[in-house]
Structure 1
Amino acid sequence: MNKMWARSGVLATVAIAVAALAAGPAQAARLGWRPTVLPLPAGADAAGHGYLTASNGRGEYTGSFIVGGKLQVVSWRGGKPVLRGVPDGFEWAMAEDENGAGTVVGTAIDYDTSAVRSFVLDAAGFHLRETPAGYKEAQTTAVNARGDVVGQVFDEDPARNGAIVWPADGSTPVIIPATHEYEIPLDIDDDGTVLFSSFKSGLVWKDGVYRELTAPGFQYTSGSAIRNGVVVGSASDGTVAGSRAMRWNSAGVPTVLPGGDGAYALNRAGLTFGTAPVPGSFRGKPVTWFDTTPTGDLRQPGSYSSYQASQVTDDGTFAGVASNGPLDEGGVPVVWRLMT
């Protein structure tokens, strides 16, 4: 997700964060990110009912929101919403990811035929991916900096489901047959490494070889995102209360992220987003780390009672949604920028 190395923005953010943390715990506790609710395009549902899911890492964002009764792709360029629409013949389009070149990937659905197709969206418009022969549909998950796209293919026989990588050079897609129970592709690193979830553990795959994410003392592990070989996710002893946010370095060595029960996104500099448990509630409190050090809070956007980030961009901002209802129904688009 956001694989472009926005060098100046990242270094500035890191410098501010490191300086604050070096000043001691009291100063670190005051570090925070200020929210901005982005404007929706004309005709959009006022409650949002969408998801801000992607960014080029240079201050531009993309997501999918209900506009005119359809879930359509919307991008923010120069702070203003640009309605990108849906592929011809489709009524539903979910943007999943975007790289530094502004290439957006996602999945589209035609309500009349129930057809499901993966798409790429660039300056020239939508481009539908061909579903590989022998499979009934393909869905898209993520894109890396060079333009490799990872997704999932489905067959009438679930035993034949697997992952797919569409190489950026247009060569033949690579099918990765599922060899673990409930194996699902989640992300792709810039070198082509694919991050998977499975029933018992997170997995990283490269050139046909799997490596399991392990965490001593925990029964289950799960990865959420991968950057430069670093994975963030969670580990659990099998109970809700026993879940911990985790970070695995490029050698696979795990570290518990203090105070968190899960980590869900990170950027190239190591800035990470996750949640901390709230007693008596299933809804976690948004928290952040730089590498393994807590760095501060995402402030509440106005009066919205629920809010969550879905990504950390390479220019050091967090992006997600806010709502006064359940977040599983989406919300309004929000960006959090570091308070300096």
Structure 2
Amino acid sequence: MKQMWMRAGVLATVAIAVTALGVPAQAQAGRLSWKPTVLPLPDGPNSLGYLTGSNGHGEYTGSFQVAGKFQVVSWRGGKPVVRGVPEGYEWAMAEDENSAGTIVGTAIDYDTSVTRSFVLDATGFHLRDTPAGYKDTQSRAVNSRGDVLGSVFHSDPAQDATIVWPADGSAPVIIPKVHEYQYPMDIDEDGTVLFSGPDQPLLWKDGTYRSLVAPGFEYASGYGIRDGVVVGSASDGTVAGSRAVRWDPAGAMTFLPGGDAAYALNRAGLSTGTAPVPGSFRGKPIAWRGSTPGGDLKRPGTYANFQARLVSDDGTFAGTASDRPLDEGGLPVVWRLTP
């Protein structure tokens, strides 16, 4: 299942001033501390899952095993709401959520192994049509205006491509690959698509590609984009040589201190990634305000593994925690700034 997916981010209200980066003014000069809250799971038999999206207004969404199958679950006011799966499908993975509460993801039919991209909004699930000539679709991300980024799969893998379903309902845009190892990662507010390429990130807009370079490094990857700013990593080809980086809209790269990778950012430039820990494959979560260290994300309880892969526009972080490897899923966690 993991290989199949490879085929293919206003603080809690506080009575203090908030800067443009969503951080209390008097805390700017100090080391910040982000306190975790483990969210409750739905009633009944359940297990681990993935927290993957937020509307930036207190709702968090992901996919968790409920009643023996992966279903979309949202947390509102800290309480879980089971959203279910599209009719006729047995498995649903939520991938992203925008400020309007529109959730995008992928559903799987166990009997046929068909995968279909879906949109979930206040009126329910809506499956995206599979373009002629392709057999499967998957979703990756959605921007604020509702453009959906995904992948389409052909019987000939060499013809797999990226797809954008425009928010206005017009015909989907198919973006052929220019490299074999080219994966869609995120979509910006203006429709720019971020790809993680074989050696460096690629930006696509209106049929034109642009590369992001990492001077002095052999490889670079981009994971998130917002208003032209990209976060990711640069490496000399070794694990020890990986650095968290940030590209501005002009393509100039800066380092994010203390990190080996950055995965997501919000509209105010608050971003999250990982800091290396000796003997740990995943490291520990770390935050930045722009390109400045943004404080520590505390361990949830005594869980051995924890990671924040999302930063919401309200200034909170979200992710998972578990005593098992996190690629097997975890418990939903939200980090808020300690007053």
What is the TM-score with the length of structure 2 in the denominator? Answer: 0.93
What is aligned with 2:304?
305
> Counterpart of 2:26?
19
- Kindly indicate whether residue 254 of structure 2 is the aligned counterpart of residue 255 of structure 1: yes
Indicate whether 1:36 and 2:43 are aligned: no
Distance in structure 1 (CA, Å) of the matches to 2:267 and 2:327: 28
How big is the shift at 1:15? 5.7
- Which residue of structure 2 lines up, in the alignment, with residue 186 of structure 1? 185
Alignment deviations for residues 283-312 of structure 1 (CA, whole Å, 9 cap, x no partner): 211111000100111111112111111200
Q: Is the 8 A contact 1:9 1:315 kept in 2?
A: no
Q: What are structure 1's unaligned runs of at least 5 residues?
A: none
Q: Which residue of 1 aligns with 2:240?
A: 241
Kindly indicate whether the alpha-carbon contact (under 8 Å) linking 1:9 and 1:316 is maintained by their aligned counterparts in 2: no
Superimposed CA distance per residue, residues 165-221 of structure 1 (whole angstroms, 9 cap, x where no aligned partner): 000000000000001231110100000000001111111111111111101100111
Shift of 1:8: 10
- Change in CA separation of 1:293 and 1:128 when aligned onto 2, cut-off 3 Å: same
Give 1:252's aligned amino acid: G
Residue 280 of structure 1: how far off its partner (Å): 2.5
Q: Is the 8 A contact 1:51 1:333 kept in 2?
A: yes
- Structure 2 match to 1:315: 314
Q: Deviations over 1:239-270 (max 9, x none)?
A: 11111000000111000111110000110111
Secondary structure class of the residue paired with 1:102: coil
Q: Secondary structure at the match of 1:100?
A: coil
Matched, 1:169 2:176: no
Q: 1:115 to 1:293 in 2, by over 3 A?
A: same
Quick check: 2:11–2:315 contact (8 Å CA) kept in 1?
no
1:42 partner letter: D
2:39/2:333 contact within 8 Å kept:
yes
1:73 aligns to what? Answer: 72
Aligned 8 A contact 2:12 2:336 in 1: no
Q: 1:179 to 1:16 in 2, by over 3 A?
A: closer
Give the direction of change, closer, same or farther, for the CA distance of 1:308–1:265 in structure 2 (3 Å limit): same
For residues 140-289 of structure 1, what are the structure 2 equivalents within 5 Å? 140-289=139-288
Aligned equivalents of 1:276, 1:307: Cα separation in 2: 12
Q: Secondary structure at the match of 1:241?
A: helix
User: Cα distance 1:280–1:303, how it changes in 2: closer, same or farther (>3 A)?
Assistant: closer
Match of 2:110 in 1: 111
What residue is the counterpart of 1:57 in the other structure?
56
Shift of 1:233: 0.1
Offset at residue 7 of structure 1 (A): 10
2:35 is paired with a residue whose SS is strand
| Equivalent residue pairs, number | 328
After superposition, the CA RMSD in angstroms is 1.7
Structure 1 residue 16, shift from structure 2 partner = 3.5
Superposed displacement of residue 132, structure 1:
0.5
For residues 207 and 18 of structure 1, do their structure 2 counterparts lie closer, same or farther at Cα, with a shift above 3 Å needed?
Answer: farther
Amino acid at match of 1:225: G
3-state DSSP of counterpart to 1:12? coil
Amino acid at match of 2:297: L
Report the 3-state secondary structure (helix = DSSP H, G, I; strand = E; otherwise coil) of the residue aligned with 1:33: strand
Give the structure-1-normalised TM-score.
Answer: 0.93
Contact 1:195 1:204 (8 Å CA) reproduced: yes
- What CA distance in whole angstroms lies between the structure 2 residues aligned with 1:161 and 1:73? 27
Q: Percent identity?
A: 69
